[in-house]
Amino acid sequence: MARTTFLALLPLISLIPYLVTAANPLGSSFQAAVLINNTIYVHGGEGVSGTISNLYSLDTSQPWSTATPPWTDLTPNAGTFTVPQTSFHAMWPAADGKSFYIWGGGNDYYITQTQSDFAQYNVIAGTWSLPSAISGMPVQKRDLSVVWSSSGVAYLWGGLGDMYTGYTTSNSTKYIFPEMTTFDTTKLIWNVFNVTNTTGQVPPPRVAHTATMLSNGQMVIIGGLIGTQLNETSIYLQYAPMTNIPVFDTYTTTWTLHNATGNPPVMRRYGSAVLSSDGLSIIICCGGTQSSKIQLNDVAVLDSRTWAWTQPAISGTLPTPRLGHSAVLANGQIIVLFDATRFLARRRVPRLRGLRCSRWFISSRQYPINHPLPRSLANRRQPISPNV
């Protein structure tokens, strides 16, 4: 159905009761999101007054307006279960499409949570559980990336440990994790790959990057901050060049470093990336730049057949620049949700955008609600910043 038809239907849709009574999440940043069939699930993040455990869903199979997204608040489904209160974490679906997992991240309260924040939500039953498959599970980390294969294996890479993840009690200690971790959602087995760097192609670890699984089983890492562990307590972080593209082949478990050409976009942290419907190009959007005051709202495409960047012309109303948002491709549209546009100004603006990628048309309406953070949270968890 064409977008114009969506818009034309709006006056009618607004009369449908479920839209009128839809939940209106206050929004968050550094949350995690996943698409299962046609429904987006969004969990956790930095909320209005600290790290949250909220769970929302959005059914994209019906026409809807970005001005009144028909959110469902699934938070009450927790019942007596203690849902991990976490942000900067990973989320991935199970192979059977009936549940998703969350893992890792940290929280403002310096609380070490059960099983490194490993939990499972059954989207059909609407119930949370603590997975019993924890043998070999890695140490909790934040700012990592995750992709998953069609056979249901999740690949988790990058990330660091600090006081918020329970790695240390010192606010000056950080450890960056070099290894690749997998979780098989069918066999329920954790595994750690420590790939030997004999080829010189194994990338140094990153944080605040994106990872995208191509249809050919290659995991593509873009942007973020490259980390070096200086000693037991200190790491050195610097922006990754957008031409420097590490690729992990999940079939051969080997890394290859690609030098991207073309028209590369500016370096960024906490951006988003989605796989295009062609299965081989990656569409990135937004993120934070080297200037802490400047966030992006650009769109760029990396074609893995040529490893060349292009920056398509965009029409329509651009979303406001942002970092710490989520992006999901559903029904030929990139849905960009939530953000930390004003994180550094200690304000949060929940937003949601529809980006129709086939025509590079951004249609949006915003519903800004500014929530100043309480002073007591002045020392709350910050996004990771580079040394240079």
| Contact between 346 and ligand NAG per CB under 6 A | no
Q: Tell me the window of 94-102, 148-156, 208-216, 278-286 that interacts with ligand NAG (CB under 6 A).
A: 94-102
Q: Which residues within the stretch 254-283 sit at the binding site for ligand NAG (CB under 6 A)?
A: 257-259
| Contact between 98 and ligand NAG per CB under 6 A | yes
Q: Tell me the window of 60-68, 86-94, 199-207, 355-363 that interacts with ligand NAG (CB under 6 A).
A: 199-207
- Going from the C-alpha of 123 to that of each of 39, 149, 375, the distances in angstroms are 10, 20, 37
**Per-residue DSSP letters for 139-162?**
PP-BS-EEEE-TTSEEEEE--EE-
Out of 36, 280, 308, 344, point to the residue binding ligand NAG (CB under 6 A).
36
Out of 7, 10, 124, 188, point to the residue binding ligand NAG (CB under 6 A).
124
Counting beta carbons within 10 angstroms of the beta carbon of residue 139, is it exposed (0 to 12), middle (13 to 18) or buried (19 or more)?
Answer: middle
| Contact between 329 and ligand NAG per CB under 6 A | no
Contact 162, 126 (CB under 8 A): no
Instruction: Indicate the residue among 21 and 172 with the shorter CB distance to ligand NAG.
Output: 172
Q: Which residues within the stretch 179-198 sit at the binding site for ligand NAG (CB under 6 A)?
A: 179, 192, 194, 197
Q: Tell me the window of 100-108, 253-261, 348-356, 369-377 that interacts with ligand NAG (CB under 6 A).
A: 253-261
Q: How many CA atoms lie within 13 A of 317 on its CB side?
A: 10
- Give 286-294 contacts, CB < 8 A, sequence gap 24+: 286/319, 286/321, 286/322, 286/323, 286/325, 286/327, 286/336, 286/339, 287/223, 287/323, 288/323, 288/324, 288/383, 290/239, 290/386, 292/344, 292/385, 293/344, 294/321
Out of 33, 74, 94, 123, point to the residue binding ligand NAG (CB under 6 A).
123
Instruction: Compute how many residues bind ligand NAG; rule: CB under 6 A.
Output: 24
| Interface contacts to ligand NAG, rule CB under 6 A | 36-37, 96-98, 123-124, 171, 178-179, 192, 194, 197, 200, 202, 204, 230-231, 233-234, 257-259, 379
